A and B are shown apart, each in its own frame.
Chain A
Amino acid sequence: MYDLSSVLDFDALRDVRPGSNILLSGPAMSGKERLAYDILADGARNGDGAVVVSTSDGAATIVSDFRELVPEVEESQLGVVDCRGEGGSDNGSVDGAYVHQVSSPGDLTGIGIGITKALEGLHNSGREQGRLALVSLSTMLTYTDKKTVFKFCHVLSSRLDSAGYIGVFTIDSGAHDEQTLQVIKQAFDGLIEIRDAEGGGREGRVLGLAGEPTPWQDI
């Protein structure tokens, strides 16, 4: 089981089953990405493997940011799939992390190969548990349609399930129509929803992971 409650204090996040796929939904600038990275970092501090699939930041940035969050991160504990399509030839290793460049956020086969190689690298170095963050589905949705993204999430979730990993995927709730959000949500086991609170600050709630949806609380 994965305990995510030290990152986000909800009882529903205390025992997350391996293989669970969680959607992190919130408006722009609500800290979703940071939360996804914090979930990965928290695991890495306990020896879990970490895989970042990014459509916005380059591999070198991700690796150095991650080192700031987890200074003790070991070589071969981190895999990065850089889908910006700008990377070019620096496949292989950046500062001890497994790095894979993918031609575009819409290249699902390329992303899959990158994830496969990252998982294999982590597995070979003895990481039996791990967490994957994909940031963000919103970018993927601008490169391909919601049907394809839905299926991608389903297939990836099945792969993560067999690896015993958990997956955290971010989506910008303000960037898509209600119908698209409803479709994408169905590909996930659980949902962490974030919104701006009325008096400032942020609130969150958890749906689908354990029993009834939790009430909104400050995060």
Chain B
Amino acid sequence: MSDSDPPVVLIVEDEPDVAETYKLWLQEEYEVRMAQNGDEGLEMLNESVDVVLLDRMMPGLSGDEVLEQIREGDLSCRVAMVTAVEPDFDILEMGFDAYLSKPIRSAQLHETVENLLERSEYDSLLQEYYSLVEKQATLEATKSSAELAESDDYVELTDEIAAMKEDLSGALGGIEDDDDFIATLRGLDQGDEN
């Protein structure tokens, strides 16, 4: 996701009217793509998709099956499941990042997509933060404290880490609720193993 391009939202929904409504709501801020069923949805999924709005009840491949395939693949997109019934606590175990109960209102849809994008941002900040910490750790493990105190690079790095720590806990508000917590950990579980 570069700064100039809007984030990409893929709507997988078998009812054309419903899909069209979501598109109308979202198209000003996001690039919206539409798939009419699960198979088409999987075909349209690639690295450029940031958020998937996935209808759970569809003829053919169900939303649950699509989700399973997304999770088995290497895609980093966030998935909001759209359901007709209010799911209970067990949904945390199901592997999606957010859920929306039908009927959906515009504000609610916007908020969900924004949250999911924010969470991706948290992940990439955390990634960046880690790489700085790793550099600092390498220096601390190899240099004496006298050498460290004299190194401008080290001092700069330390400042940068402190600033980034603020960003992580401040800008995104941290991990406030259970959904965020589980979804972020799920991202780590699937993340790169370098």
Partner of A183, one of B133, B177, B185, B188: B133
CB neighbours (8 Å) of A144 from chain B are 193
- B138 in the interface (beta carbon within 8 A): yes
Consensus secondary structure, chain A interface: helix
- B93 in the interface (beta carbon within 8 A): yes
Partner of A116, one of B126, B133, B182: B182
Measured between alpha carbons, how far is A158 from B126 in the docked complex, in Å?
12
A122-163 Cβ-contact flags toward B at 8 Å (1 or 0): 000000000000000000000011011011101100110110
Interface residues in B162-194 by Cβ distance below 8 A to A read: 168-169, 174-178, 181-182, 184-186, 188-189, 191, 193-194
Return the chain B residue nearest A145 by Cβ.
B193
Tell me, rounded to whole Å, the shortest Cβ–Cβ distance linking B129 to chain A: 8
A108 to B185, Cβ gap below 8 A? Answer: yes
B193 to A148, Cβ gap below 8 A? Answer: yes
A110-121 Cβ-contact flags toward B at 8 Å (1 or 0): 011100110010
B41-76 Cβ-contact flags toward A at 8 Å (1 or 0): 000000000000000000000000000000000000
A-B interface contact total, Cβ < 8 Å: 79
A155 to B175, Cβ gap below 8 A? Answer: yes
Tell me, rounded to whole Å, the shortest Cβ–Cβ distance linking B169 to chain A: 7
Partner of B130, one of A113, A147, A179, A180: A147
B138 to A151, Cβ gap below 8 A? Answer: no
Measured between alpha carbons, how far is A178 from B141 in the docked complex, in Å?
6
A177-188 Cβ-contact flags toward B at 8 Å (1 or 0): 111101100100
Measured between alpha carbons, how far is A179 from B139 in the docked complex, in Å?
9
B193 to A155, Cβ gap below 8 A? Answer: no
Measured between alpha carbons, how far is A151 from B141 in the docked complex, in Å?
20
A116 to B191, Cβ gap below 8 A? Answer: no
Consensus secondary structure, chain B interface: helix
Return the chain B residue nearest A152 by Cβ.
B188
A182 to B136, Cβ gap below 8 A? Answer: yes
CB neighbours (8 Å) of B133 from chain A are 150, 183, 186
- How many chain B residues touch A (CB < 8 A): the figure is 31
Interface residues in A1-33 by Cβ distance below 8 A to B read: none
Tell me, rounded to whole Å, the shortest Cβ–Cβ distance linking A216 to chain B: 17
- A109 in the interface (beta carbon within 8 A): yes
Contacts A158-B174, A179-B141 given; indicate if A150 touches B130 (C-beta within 8 A). Answer: yes
A179 to B137, Cβ gap below 8 A? Answer: yes
Contacts A150-B130, A158-B175 given; indicate if A182 touches B184 (C-beta within 8 A). Answer: no
Measured between alpha carbons, how far is A154 from B164 in the docked complex, in Å?
13
B181 to A155, Cβ gap below 8 A? Answer: yes
Measured between alpha carbons, how far is A182 from B133 in the docked complex, in Å?
9
A107 to B175, Cβ gap below 8 A? Answer: no
- B26 in the interface (beta carbon within 8 A): no
Measured between alpha carbons, how far is A113 from B133 in the docked complex, in Å?
27
Tell me, rounded to whole Å, the shortest Cβ–Cβ distance linking A48 to chain B: 20
A151 to B188, Cβ gap below 8 A? Answer: yes
Return the chain A residue nearest B134 by Cβ.
A183
Beyond A113-B93, A155-B126, list 15 extra A-B contacts (CB 8 Å).
Answer: A108-B185, A112-B185, A113-B92, A116-B182, A145-B193, A145-B194, A147-B134, A150-B130, A151-B126, A154-B129, A162-B175, A182-B140, A182-B141, A183-B134, A186-B137
Q: List the interface of chain A (C-beta within 8 A of B).
A: 107-109, 111-113, 116-117, 120, 144-145, 147-148, 150-152, 154-155, 158-159, 161-162, 177-180, 182-183, 186
